[in-house]
Amino acid sequence: MAWFETWFDTPYYHILYKNRDFTEAEKFITLLVNYLEIPKDSKIIDLACGKGRHSVFLNKLGYKVLGVDLSKESIFHNKQIENSNLKFEVHDMRKELFPKISTQKVEAVFNLFTSFGYFDLEKDDRSVFRSVSNVLKEEGIFVLDFLNQQWIRNTLEAEYETKKGNIDFLIRKKIEGEHIIKDIFFSDKGKKHHYFEKVKLHTLEEMENYAQEFGFERVAIFGNYDLGKFELQKSPRCISIFRKKPEQL
């Protein structure tokens, strides 16, 4: 099994990242939807929604939200907070969303907090862009909130320890070729664990090329969760706002 099929399904992923919480998500989503001016009542897909922190808030703001994720555990948890305008489904982002998962085309798709760059094959990356393009209405918006590979290269902290709850995590990071690899070591209840995350350091140009190939144009790019200016050397994030171009007749 690939690393992303197991690690995100464990409780330990949620323990390690528990400071990336609902408050952070609400602040970012508020800024994002104000900027995008997406009309209330629009349909939005939260692609790789995890435990649904962005989905829940989007729904509170009045949007019809479908959150999808590969993690059965996360979706099982999220199913308990569904309502008529907030739904969750297990779904692999490499597969088509429309019309099986979302029976209608939508105004926006959000892929947030580095939920891309996991796949070894370019064809899988392409499948994500193709599926997003196919599920969007014309002029629909695709937000791809990815790491800034240059900032990762500039600021890599090779090793550190962090305590979350009762668990001491040892984190080792390295760049291998085109990937950032984060090894995660810890013990729990007397048992040693080792997981890792491996994310492809996609450049701005690579993502732009995928976007163009599937009919998108980039309308904005931000460098952090405050929607600050993107600066290649200094920005921690690379948040691309793509718009699906109307089809040429």
Ligand X SMILES: C[S@@+](CC[C@H](N)C(=O)[O-])C[C@H]1O[C@@H](n2cnc3c(N)ncnc32)[C@H](O)[C@@H]1O
**Would you say how long the chain is, in residues?**
249
Q: Quick one: tokens of 211?
A: 């976007």
Exactly one of 48, 56, 136, 238 binds ligand X (CB under 6 A); that residue is 48
Rounded to whole angstroms, the Cα distance separating 32 from 47 reads 16
DSSP state of 229: B
Q: Quick one: 4 or 186, whose CB is closer to ligand X?
A: 4
Report in angstroms how near the CB of residue 54 gets to ligand X at its nearest: 6
Q: By CB under 6 A, which span of 63-71, 146-154, 158-166, 219-227 interacts with ligand X?
A: 63-71
Rounded to whole angstroms, the Cα distance separating 224 from 234 reads 10
Pairing of strands 179-188, 191-200: antiparallel
Does 49 bind ligand X (CB under 6 A)? Our answer is yes
Q: Quick one: 114 or 150, whose CB is closer to ligand X?
A: 114
Does 70 bind ligand X (CB under 6 A)? Our answer is yes
Exactly one of 115, 127, 131, 148 binds ligand X (CB under 6 A); that residue is 115
Does 114 bind ligand X (CB under 6 A)? Our answer is yes
Exactly one of 12, 44, 64, 74 binds ligand X (CB under 6 A); that residue is 74
Pairing of strands 136-147, 179-188: unpaired
Report in angstroms how near the CB of residue 13 gets to ligand X at its nearest: 8
How far is Cα of residue 210 from the mean position of the Cα atoms in its chain? Answer: 16
Report in angstroms how near the CB of residue 195 gets to ligand X at its nearest: 13
Q: E-strand spans in 105-177?
A: 106-111, 136-147, 159-164, 167-176
Could you tell me the end-to-end alpha-carbon distance of the chain, in angstroms, rounded to an integer?
A: 44
Report in angstroms how near the CB of residue 114 gets to ligand X at its nearest: 5
Does 112 bind ligand X (CB under 6 A)? Our answer is yes
CA angle 233, 238, 242 (to 5 degrees): 140
Contacts to ligand X from residues 8-37, by CB under 6 A: 8
- Give the amino acid at 163: K
Give the Å distances, CA to CA, from 80 to 46, 208, 233: 17, 37, 42
Q: Quick one: 53 or 64, whose CB is closer to ligand X?
A: 53
Exactly one of 42, 59, 71, 224 binds ligand X (CB under 6 A); that residue is 71
Residues that bind ligand X (CB under 6 A): 4, 8, 48-50, 53, 69-71, 74, 92-94, 112-115, 118
